[in-house]
Structure 1
Amino acid sequence: MSTRSDRRWAELARELEFTRLPELRRQAEGWRTGLTGLTALLAVLVLLKGRDNLADLPDTARAIATGLLVTAFVLLTTGSLLAVRAAHGAPEREILMGGQALRRWTEQEAARVTRALAWASLCCVLGVILVVGALVVAWVTTRAPGTHEVMVRTDTGVVCGELVLADRHYVEISSRTSGKVSLPWTSIVSMAPAKMCS
């Protein structure tokens, strides 16, 4: 390499010190935009489709899925706020500094922006993982559509199972222990939804 080329590279290296913070801020802008869009998209999906899916889950699975979604939303919101902090800095009263003070502030701010971006990306990744975890819980534990388990008390005992058919004359229940059972309405004392038949 020539001496002129070496000098130019040295100049660029010196200028890098002065352009580092604006470059980090530009990078943070991109993260902020991406995280805000992702958080909004996930919030809309959860609000529009989540309730229907979560209503079909057993109580424990519903609590786990809801906890995962709430935690994911908090993480994604935190990541967005950290990215905003990195992109725009913290509000400060006034910057009246000399050259050395400005240099120290710039170095400290660059370190804060780098740290905030690292935490923002971690929050983003963890938030997406938790949303996927909630979806997996919903897919794995959702009952088949159309299954309605009921507990029927008759004058001779209790039958618990899936409600297959109910008309004016009788109720048909598919029980795990007894198979398909047809009960006339005249023998039924009470009928109520069952959370889970053993």
Structure 2
Amino acid sequence: MSLTREDRRWEVLARELPFQQITALRAQAEGWRNGTAATVTILAAVAVAKGRNDIAQLDTVWRWIIVSAVVLGFAALVTSLMISVRVAHGSPGASIWNTGKDLEEWTRNEVARGGRLLTWAVRLAAGGLSLLIVAMAAGWLAPATEDSAAQLVQVRASTEAFCGHLIAIRDGVVTVDTGTADAPHPRSVAVPALTELNQISSC
């Protein structure tokens, strides 16, 4: 059976394919690296814009879950990015032999090794992104401790407005802590200057 021009073209492409494997692999690694970095940037922007400002208001268990998920997630993503860079650009100082046989052997080994590494990079990226999403969801949905939720207030005066944990109302002065558990920042307003004092669920 005679081959058509299109069939012959496919045959030529098939014969050229082994010589293009390393280029295709490195292009894939570059794409995964860029995609992972872009996704992390988007998640960070969403977390900053919509995330809970102070996880100190949460129970200890929830705080540990969020911190652990963030640390492990970023560790997995950084490892994934480093592996993708290794696959995309090769090992520093690696030698490439200048004979056809040696180059062929190096290419086969590099493609096999790079394919395995890229598979791990994809798995680590997926795991890291999942952990960050879990941390964000926990930060949004985890309930605050009963004490902190009950004492959180919004204060509005003639010249200022702020929110925080109510410390005391004594001698005609309202005192509110606008800082965190680790860095308290008490602020006081005289009762006559108040225009609004409301209990809220979050700042």
| TM-score calculated relative to the size of structure 2 | 0.65
1:95 has 2:96 as partner: yes
Given that 1:79 and 1:124 are in contact with CA atoms closer than 8 Å, whether structure 2 keeps it comes out as: yes
Cα deviation for residue 66 of structure 1 reads 0.2
Superposition deviation, residue 146 in structure 1: 5.0
Residue matched to 2:119: 118
1:3 aligns with 2:6: no
Q: Which residue of 2 aligns with 1:132?
A: 133
Which has the higher mean CA deviation after the structures are superposed, 39-48 or 51-60?
A: 39-48
Q: Which residue of 2 aligns with 1:83?
A: 84
Aligned to 2:71: 70
Q: Quote the offset at 1:8 in angstroms.
A: 2.9
- Counterpart of 1:24, as a letter, is L
The whole-number CA distance in structure 2 between the counterparts of 1:49 and 1:59 is: 22
Deviation at 1:64, TM superposition (A): 1.1
Structure 1 partner of 2:150 = 147
| Percent identical residues | 36
Distance in 2 between the 1:49 and 1:3 partners? 61
1:82/1:116 contact within 8 Å kept? yes
**Which shows bigger deviation, 109-118 or 75-84?**
109-118
Does 2:58 correspond to 1:25? no
Give the structure 2 partner of residue 158 of structure 1.
none
Which residue identity lines up with residue 151 of structure 2 in the other structure? H
Matched AA of 2:3: T
| Conservation of the 8 A alpha-carbon contact between 1:53 and 1:138 | no
Residue 9 of structure 1 deviates from its aligned partner by 2.3
Tell me, what secondary structure is at the counterpart of 1:104? helix
One-letter amino acid of the structure 2 residue matched with residue 80 of structure 1: L
Note the residue ranges of structure 1 that are not aligned, 5 or more in a row. Answer: 150-161, 170-198
The total of aligned residue pairs comes to 158
Letter matched to residue 135 of structure 2? A
Q: CA separation of 1:90/1:47 partners in 2, compared to 1, >3 Å: closer, same or farther?
A: farther
Deviations 1:90-130 (A, max 9, x none): 11253233211111110111112211221111111111111
* 1:168 equivalent in alignment to 2:174: no
* C-alpha distance in 2 between matches for 1:140 and 1:94: 53
For normalisation by structure 1, the TM-score amounts to 0.67
CA deviations over 1:132-163 (Å, ceiling 9, x no partner): 211222233232885329xxxxxxxxxxxx97
* Residue 55 (structure 1) shift: 2.2
Q: CA RMSD in A?
A: 3.1
Q: Deviations over 1:17-50 (max 9, x none)?
A: 0011111111111111122233344456667876
